[in-house]
Amino acid sequence: MPRLRDNVLANYAGHMWVALMGFAFVPAYLRYLGAEQFGMVAFMLSLQSISLLLDFGVGVFLNRELAQRAHDPERRGGIARLIRSFEWLVWPMAAIIAVAIFACSGSLSAHWLKLDNLTQSDADHAIKLIGMTVALLWPSSFYTAALSGLEQQLRLNALVMAFATLRYAGVLAVLMFTDTGLQGFLCWYAIVAGAQTVCSAWLLWKTIPAATLPLGFDLQEILGARHFALGVFALTALGLLLNQLDKLTLSALRPLQEFGYYAIAVTVSGGLGRLVQPMFSAVYPRLSRLVGSGQQQELANLYHLASQIVAVVIAAIAGVICTYPGPVLLLWTGNAEISSQVALPLALLFAGTAINGTLNLPYALQLAHGWTRLATFANLVSVLIAIPLYVIAIKQFGMTGAASVWFAINLCNFLFGLPLMHRRLLRGELRTWYLHDILPPALSTTIICLMARTMHPQVDRDLAGVVWLILLGIATLFSATVASGGVRRMLVRYIRSDRSLR
């Protein structure tokens, strides 16, 4: 069985590489495509996120189910049959996604997107290519969830890193050496998406234990998943809708160019999610196994330690970005207009995403127990409140209004959702989570960032500015680590054990 530490490190390596690839090339994409066509790329990413609804919770179910079956000698032999049964649903659904986006391309280009320089014909063709890309990539999430449940993070992240490099760096070559523009960009994404799905499927089938049951479609495997999977589907549907409401509303109410600017802020704030997801992906299967074996003390220890690690990472990065949003954007894009317009929305988006990130481990704990009702209810209430708020805020304040609503919704979930969860799961641990897991790194980082802002209120786009931001990042990470008791003790134990082996 792979060690949890190795899985966490592999996940962080993979997600950080993907984030680096995405951040490094966005300024070049903007230079070759412009803000409006980059807005079309952001629209594709929104459709990719929405398409995840159509797995009906199967990915989360598989992750939990395989984590438990892989360590049960009596059930290991049925893993191959389980996966083959769901494959009979996954691939037809991918075809349905492609057909649906193709069919809606004309309406989306004519009535949804607010085009300026891009013609309706070009937008219609682009949306058709987006449909192909989304459909080809969609099955890979199924295979990724299965590999994660089998705790194959090392192999999985090697695959993810390879295709991230192909996707982000390869498409730049297309833009530089051909005159295909947006069409070439989307065609390359479609090719890489198909190749990634095929390779993910090959890796999974190479990894799963030998089958003791005949391969084929087994209706009982599908039916056995229905209660938990449908609960996850409802939860995921509402969660994805909540995550996309700002972008969908903004794309419908404001010019596509403004949506392109907002997409830049979303890209930066989304990078924080890539630093939280590795911990979730590694810890969720282990939490599921501990729940299944009834190891409550080990479960609580892992829950708190993982929450503290996430809090340290989030506090260090969010502190720097929220303190200097404009300079960070200027250093990244080299565009003064973008940095001035997007700075405040970025700070609000990043703060909301940071709060959301701290809720990932409590969410994993709920899924490990097979309990989806609370999170579903919280997302439903959030969506019902957010819809009118987004419309009003975006009409009045544009990007800043959208980011403000996102921040407020996550703050409410942080303050009111956690107490409800801990009334049922790990009772008596709420105070520890708030006061020992989250507060110390957040408070220490806030103090460091306020001092830095007072000492150096403006950061220029030069070597001194870069050095200042790097030093601030190191200072916030160090202070958050020292303030977090669990992380500090873990590092001390690791250093001492490493020295003892020399």
CA dihedral 472, 478, 484, 490 (to 10 degrees): 150
**Using one digit for the tens of pLDDT, what is the confidence trace for 152-172?**
878 888 898 999 899 888 888
DSSP string, 159-191: HHHHHHHHHHHHHHHHHHH-S-HHHHHHHHHHH
- DSSP label of 290: H
Helix (H, G, I), strand (E, B) or coil at 6: helix
At 502 the three-state DSSP class reads coil
**Using 50, 70 and 90 to split pLDDT, how confident is the model at 1?**
very low
Task: For residue 267, give both structure tokens.
Answer: 């890209």
Using CA atoms, how far residue 172 sits from 20, 25, 123, 182, in Å, is 15, 8, 21, 11
Tell me, what's the pLDDT at 500? 44
pLDDT of residue 61: 73
**What is the C-alpha separation between 208 and 76, in angstroms, rounded?**
9
DSSP 456: -
Q: In the prediction, which pLDDT does 214 show?
A: 66
Contacts 24+ apart (CB under 8 A), 393-399: 394/246, 394/249, 394/250, 394/253, 394/254, 395/253, 398/250, 398/254, 398/258, 399/250, 399/254, 399/258, 399/261, 399/262, 399/265, 399/341, 399/342, 399/345
Residue 501 in this model has a pLDDT that exceeds 60 = no
Structural contact between residues 271 and 353, judged by C-beta atoms closer than 8 angstroms: no
**What pLDDT band is residue 365 in, cutting at 50, 70 and 90?**
very high
Per-residue pLDDT for 401 more than 90? yes
Average pLDDT, the chain: 83
Which percentage of the chain shows pLDDT scores above 70? Answer: 90
Residue of 276, 335, 316, 339 whose CA lies nearest to 471: 316
Averaged over 90-99, what is the pLDDT?
A: 87
- State pLDDT tens for residues 24-78: 787 888 888 887 787 788 778 778 777 776 666 677 777 777 776 766 666 667 7
- Alpha-carbon distance of 134 to 182, in angstroms, equals 16
Higher pLDDT, residue 456 or 110: 456
Residue 212 confidence (pLDDT) above 80: no
**What pLDDT is stored for residue 222 in this prediction?**
65
Give the chain's radius of gyration (CA, Å): 23
Q: What is the pLDDT of residue 476?
A: 94
Mean pLDDT over residues 274-299, rounded?
81
Which has more pLDDT, 118 or 393? Answer: 393
Is the model's pLDDT at 502 over the cut of 80?
Answer: no
pLDDT grade, residue 354 (50/70/90)? very high
Q: What is the pLDDT of residue 307?
A: 93
% of the chain exceeding 90 in pLDDT: 28
Question: 254 falls in which pLDDT band (50, 70, 90)?
Answer: confident
Q: Tell me which of 305 and 22 has the higher pLDDT.
A: 305
Query: Which residue's structure tokens are 């870069």?
Result: 466
| Selection from 35-44, 72-81, 140-149, 181-190 with the highest mean pLDDT | 181-190
* Host H or E run for residue 27: helix 4-51
State residue 15's pLDDT score. Answer: 73
pLDDT of residue 269: 84
Q: How far apart are CA 203 and CA 250, in angstroms?
A: 39
pTM above 0.85, yes or no: no
Residue 197 confidence (pLDDT): 93
- Residue 112's pLDDT is 75
Q: What is the pLDDT of residue 344?
A: 92
Contact present, 174 and 87 (Cβ < 8 Å): no
More confident residue, 383 or 46: 383
Closest CA to 29 of 167, 159, 151, 142: 167
Q: Report pLDDT digits (tens) over 404-458.
A: 999 999 999 999 989 999 999 999 899 999 999 999 999 999 999 999 989 888 8
